[in-house]
Chain A
Amino acid sequence: MSYVPGQPVTAVVQRIEIHKLRQGDNLILGFSIGGGIDQDPTQNPFSEDKTDKGIYVTRVTEGGPAEVAGLQIGDKIMQVNGWDMTMVTHDQARKRLTKRNEEVVRLLVTRQSLQKAVQQSMMS
């Protein structure tokens, strides 16, 4: 699946709601992101389309809030609390995820297995 920036996209997404965990003064989500329009997309090991500058989940803390919520390594984050994440810088994405006043973030993510599952079911 490739995306043309600015164009509507059809994707199979999953909603994931992560309740942040308080660690000391910080609220953490327990995953890390890579990518962004200011990053080198070819280095992204998770994207199928190596020009995809989207935000991807690069690591998930075992047992952390993100994992509990079902987030997985390699997921592409499409939205965070309704904000588009497909055309943002790495830092913008990070900030959007780490707003201190938000205890919960709602993500829309997509991943290959979702796409495939849908395709399969359509085909069969």
Chain B
Amino acid sequence: MFFLQDRVFASGVTLRSCSCIFPTVSLQMKDLACTSDSYVHEQSPSNQTSIAMMQEPQEMVEETVTVEEDPGTPTSHVSIVTSEDGTTRRTETKVTKMVKTVTTRTVRQVPLGPDGLPSMDGSSPMGSYTDSIDRRYMKNGERYITPQASSTLTRSYNNYNDSYPESHEGQYRPYIGHDGYGDLSDNYGSLSRGVNYRPRYAYVPGNSYRPDDGSFTLPSRRDNYGPVAQPQVPVGSNVDLNRSQPERFQPEPYGLEDDNRSLGVDDEGYELDPDYSTVNRRTSAGVPERGRPHKGRGYDDPIETEMVEERIPYLHGGYAAPLAQPERGSMASIDRLGKRSPSIDSIRKDPRWRDPDLPEVIAMLSHPIDPVKSNAAAYLQHLCYENDKIKKDVRHLKGIPILVGLLDHPKPEVHRKACGALRNISYGKDNENKVAIKNCDGIPALIRLLRKTNDMEVRELITGTLWNLSSYEPLKMVIINHGLQTLTNEVIIPHSGWESEPNEDSKPRDAEWTTVFKNTSGCLRNVSSDGAEARRRLRECDGLVDALLHALQSAVGKKDTDNKSVENCVCIMRNLSYHVHKEVPGADKYQELDASQTTSMGGSQKKKKDDAGCFGGKKAKEEWFNQGKKNGDLDRNFDTLDLPKRSEAAKGFELLYQPDVVRLYLSILTESQNFNTLEAAAGALQNLSAGNWMWSTYIRATVRKERGLPVLVELLQSDSDKVVRAVSIALRNLSMDRRNKDLIGSYAMGELVRNLPSRQQRSAKNLEEDTVVAVLNTIHEIITDSSENARSLIQTQGIQKLVAISKSSQSPRETKAASHVLQMIWSYKELRNALQKDGWNKSHFQSVSATPKGSKGIAGRSGYDDSTLPLVDKSQDNEKAGSRDMIPMDELGPDGYSTIDHRDKERKYKTSDNTGDASEKEPLKNDTNRKNINRSNRASVNLVDARDIKPQPVDSWV
């Protein structure tokens, strides 16, 4: 086989002059100060929310609430404003040339563009460079120049190499040298030196230029102003020569010294300066200098020569321009200072200045000089802010792989800015952008960077980007695969305050609600909705559940339960609680007796009716409880229910369903004012109380013992539709416990009925259809097998509302649900007298919608809409016989609430699993909108399940 080794790129030949695109353009400075403003607002939480809302429906697979959000504001840019003055002045002409040089390079790189590939190895020839740089830094005592600086060089060097085929490497060496140089110096002086192609070492002393940089004291400033700030010079080709008279310009940089650089060093540099005079540089950059023996490379090479020549026009032309951008702002400052120089004036008037266009900005991302890269990325972030068109253009122009490539850049300002740009690009409804990031391995790159960096801001940007990405379904698993454990270890656990092995002496720590934590929990919240496999991965992720619970406990302790992080955590918990009883390893051990047994005991219990029905499981459960109690009285047993003693503390996913969590959720339900949090906490209880296994039985009893029922009932008055819905369904699940059912029937019926729309107005609160259906289903469940509860329904004047709904609701689903309730009521013969006294007759209870039922009399819960029967039958066949109580109405309904519906569908896919979910009522919790509905959220679950059945392809760890 023939392999092209190691990322080969198109050959250097591609150099062709992209630069000609902008032959005559000159630079224009962009006012960074303004720009920075907008950065501040970028993706501020408020905007996000709206979008988030729009996106939510999509994401709502199962009970999940997915929100796409961006993290808060990128702040780095703020400092820009401050720094302007200094920057500006420094920018003088000298710079110009360098800029051009730079430009040239850029041009050449353009074709090579997409070396956005991660992972270049560090074996660059830059070593010596690095050394000298370091030394220099030391000398100047510049603190903020970190060792990274040196590595940066290396990196850029590498990039450069990467882009060129090895065979041509030699030719490019000299350039590379520069590049490195450019990098070092955010300062112009060094840049110009670079232009000279002098041997690097010679410049070491020149580092004294550094001090000039002094003005860049703040790293962030520097970021923004970097070389970009420099090129004020409008580029007519030769003009530069004139301009760059050292006398004029040099003083200025030094004028900047107020930036606290030590003069001594500067002076040194000063002396050296003449060497670097623009004129010289000019020449050296020019053809004549080619033959010089710097490093003995390349220029002798004819090809290179050509290229150089070719480049020259561009120097003055196109590419220089974009670089110059930031200057305008700086000029302004100069004006203020009254220091404006004639040259600047002319620059300003020069009509040739302009903003760089998008291709130029993207080209600059590959610029060999780091600050150019970072400025380009920052500018890109700015451009992309709330501008979907630009985001798309960036994608089409292949800018995304380059940005992703920059994530591995060792220099903080470069990867920070790249990350900021990616965050903005990843935000929004256009999922193509997200896919593009994923396709160039952006997700592992982000995760890698997260592991590497300690910079809070970068971490915020990374996790914000991941949050955005996580809102798109197909990327969720990718994020889990690459980043779950890292996100947990790097963010969730440390910020949650949880410690796997707490020290005796250390106090338990509280959670810190940092932005990073918020973003990360938001991301996990989104990915936790991706079906059974995703849930399994999250549950089994070391420390995740423990840490989330710890965080929530601490939130409750501090009464700080309204924030977004808490919301995210609760949502994750809720999602992970979904189907625990089926999906958790060893769950079968805890399964309770199911259908067959249920049925057999059904008769012996309360009513003459066989109430094993679709919720017959409850009987089984109760029975289970009774075992070992040797005591026939159900209710009393429940109240004295002893939870099993654990031999060791629960940990990991076991914590999800330990009865202890009930208290936590109830506290949140009591404390929180955040509707999403309330909904999620109720949803968690709802998920936990569903199902047939031992733990759900405990949960149901524990909710009662912790006095949770009143808390829930009170929330039925909530103004939030979805809270009402979740609580209502939770109550329905809880009422599988007989004692709960009695209590709920007595105390909650009034609230439930109040939530139903009355004839006049749609509803006091104008609840959504889903909510109304949920409430109706809950009422149905509560009155099933309990004539007492049916009686209290009558007493709360519920019949009138029910009849109104069943006769006149616009919604077929509401109509159906209401008529089922009515049928159930009518089935209690002992109540009919009372009903007739109130003026009701049989026709009111024979639903309009259930037309064909005429023949099926009173007992006629079998009188359901025929169309629904087949599905019901199927499910019944699999389960047990006595499912007359089933409520078939929901099977195709969008509201995933009904048990039956859910089970039913599942069963179609999961042939192997018919372990009586008889009594499971797991609501899929969608915050539905219509869209949701059409989207068949359930399908994905089913598919996942289906996949689980298939033999997995062989997969070996090595």
Stretch in B409-417, B482-490, B654-662, B893-901 touching the partner: B482-490
Contact of A114 among B1, B117, B485, B957 (CB under 8 A): B117
| Interface pair A12/B8, CB less than 8 Å apart | yes
B708: min CB distance to chain A, Å = 38
Q: Please report the C-alpha to C-alpha distance between residue A108 and residue B954 in the assembled complex, in whole angstroms.
A: 22
Q: How far is it, in angstroms, between the C-alpha of A40 and the C-alpha of B955 when the chains are bound?
A: 12
Size band of the A side of the interface? Answer: 35 or more
Residue contact A34 to B113, C-beta cutoff 8 Å: no
Give CA–CA (A98, B957) in the complex, Å: 10
Please tell me if the beta carbons of A12 and B7 are within 8 angstroms of each other in the complex: yes
Neighbour of A11 across the interface among B4, B110, B114, CB < 8 A: B4
Do A114 and B3 have beta carbons less than 8 Å apart?
no
With an 8 A cutoff between CB atoms, is A32 at the interface? Answer: yes
**Binary B-proximity of A59-93 (CB < 8 A = 1, otherwise 0):** 11011000100101100001000001010001000
| CB nearest to B117 among chain A residues | A117
Contact for A32 among B1, B2, B444, B957, CB less than 8 A: B957
When the two chains form their complex, are residues A114 and B7 in contact, meaning their CB atoms are under 8 A apart? yes
B242-270: which residues lie under 8 A (CB-CB) from chain A?
A: none
CA distance A67 to B483 in the complex (A): 11
What's the minimum C-beta distance from A88 to chain B, rounded to whole angstroms? 13
* Known contacts A28-B957, A59-B955, A70-B118; A14/B7 CB under 8 A: yes
Whether A121 and B958, one on each chain, are in contact in the complex, defined by CB atoms closer than 8 angstroms, is no
Evaluate contact between A31 and B957: CB separation under 8 angstroms: yes
Residues of B within 8 A of A70 (CB): 118-119
Closest to A12 in B: B4
B958 near A13 with CB under 8 A, answer no
Say whether A90 contacts B958, CB under 8 Å.
Answer: no
The answer for the CA separation of A33 and B401 in the assembled complex, in Å, is: 26
Q: Does B447 interact with chain A (Cβ within 8 Å)?
A: yes
Q: Which residues of A contact B398 (CB under 8 A)?
A: 120
In the complex, the answer to whether A97 meets B113 with C-beta atoms within 8 Å is no
Q: B958, A94: Cβ atoms under 8 Å?
A: yes
Answer whether residue B326 sits at the interface, using C-beta atoms and an 8 A cutoff: no
CA distance in complex: A36, B482 (Å): 23
Neighbouring B residues of A43 by C-beta, 8 Å: 953
Among residues of A, the one whose C-beta sits closest to the C-beta of B9 is A121
When distances are taken between beta carbons in the complex, the residues of chain A under 8 Å from B483 are 62
- In whole angstroms, what is the CA distance A87 to B32 when docked? 57
Asked whether any CB of chain B lies closer than 8 Å to the CB of A10, the reply is yes
By the criterion CB–CB under 8 Å, are A113 and B441 in contact?
A: yes
For chain B, residues 476 to 501, give those with C-beta under 8 angstroms from any C-beta of chain A: 478, 481-486
Chain B residues positioned under 8 Å from A36 (CB to CB): 954
Of B440, B484, B956, the residue contacting A33 (CB under 8 A) is B956
Select which of A10, A62, A73, A118 is within 8 A of B485 by beta carbon. A62
The one of A32, A73, A111 in contact with B956, judged by C-beta atoms closer than 8 angstroms, is A32
Known contacts: A117-B401, A120-B113. The answer to whether A73 contacts B7 by CB under 8 A is no
Q: Using A113-B117, A121-B10 as known contacts, say yes or no to A13 and B4 having CB atoms under 8 A apart.
A: yes
Bound form: Cα–Cα A100–B441 in Å: 31
Q: Which residues from chain A contact B114 at a C-beta distance below 8 Å?
A: 116-117, 120-121, 124
The 8 Å CB contact of B954, one of A13, A28, A63, A90, is A90
Are B3 and A34 neighbours in the complex by a CB distance under 8 Å?
no
Report how far A40 CA is from B958 CA in the complex, Å: 20
Min C-beta distance of A70 to chain B, whole Å: 4
By beta carbon, the residue of chain B nearest A105 is B958
CB-defined contacts of A90 to chain B, threshold 8 Å = 954, 956
B14 in the interface (beta carbon within 8 A): yes
The distance in angstroms between the C-alpha atoms of A112 and B954, with both chains bound, is: 22
Cα–Cα distance between A8 and B6 once the two chains are bound (Å)? 18
The verdict on B451 contacting chain A, using a C-beta distance below 8 Å, is: yes
CA distance A90 to B955 in the complex (A): 9
Chain B residue nearest to A108 in the complex (CB): B3
Q: For window 13-47 of chain A, which residues contact chain B by CB distance below 8 Å? A: 13-15, 28-29, 31-36, 39-40, 43-44
A34 and B954 form a contact (CB under 8 A): yes
Q: How far is the CA of A47 from the CA of B14 in the complex (A)?
A: 31
B112 neighbours in A (Cβ, 8 Å): 121, 124
The CA of A54 and the CA of B265, in the complex, are separated in Å by 61
- The answer to whether B958 touches A122, judged by C-beta atoms less than 8 angstroms apart, is no
On chain B, the residues within 8 Å of A10 by CB distance are 2-4
Chain B residues positioned under 8 Å from A118 (CB to CB): 4, 7-10
Given known contacts A28-B958, A113-B440, A73 and B481 CB-to-CB distance under 8 angstroms: yes
| A59 with B481: CB separation less than 8 A | yes
Residues of A within 8 A of B355 (CB): none
Whole-angstrom CA separation of A86 from B2 in the bound complex? 13
Residue B371 at the chain A interface, CB threshold 8 Å: no
Query: Complex: how many Å from CA A71 to CA B478?
Result: 15
Min CB–CB distance B59 → chain A (angstroms): 22
Could you say which residues of chain B place their CB within 8 Å of the CB of A15? 5-6
Task: Give Cα distance in the complex from A104 to B2, angstroms.
Answer: 23
- Which B residues lie within 8 Å of A60 (CB)? 481-482
Instruction: Check A124–B958 contact: CB distance below 8 A.
Output: no
Name B440's closest neighbour in chain A (CB-CB).
A113
List of B residues within 8 angstroms of A14 by Cβ: 6-7, 119
Contacts of B956 in A (CB 8 A): 32-34, 90, 94
Min distance, Cβ A21 to any Cβ of chain B, angstroms? 11
Which residues in B have their C-beta under 8 angstroms from that of A121? 9-10, 14, 111-115, 163
- Residue of A8, A32, A86 near B958 (CB, 8 A) is A32
Q: List 8 A-B contacts (CB under 8 A).
A: A13-B6, A28-B957, A33-B955, A59-B957, A86-B1, A90-B954, A97-B958, A117-B114
Residues of A at under 8 Å CB distance from B? 8-15, 28-29, 31-36, 39-40, 43-44, 58-60, 62-63, 67, 70, 72-73, 78, 84, 86, 90, 94, 97-98, 108, 111-114, 116-118, 120-122, 124
Which 7 A-B pairs have CB atoms at the shortest separation, nearest pair first? Answer: A121-B10, A43-B953, A70-B119, A97-B958, A122-B10, A62-B485, A32-B957
Q: A33-B956, A118-B7 are in contact. List 15 more A-B contacts (CB 8 A).
A: A8-B1, A12-B4, A31-B957, A31-B958, A32-B958, A62-B485, A67-B444, A72-B441, A73-B444, A112-B439, A114-B117, A121-B115, A122-B14, A124-B14, A124-B111
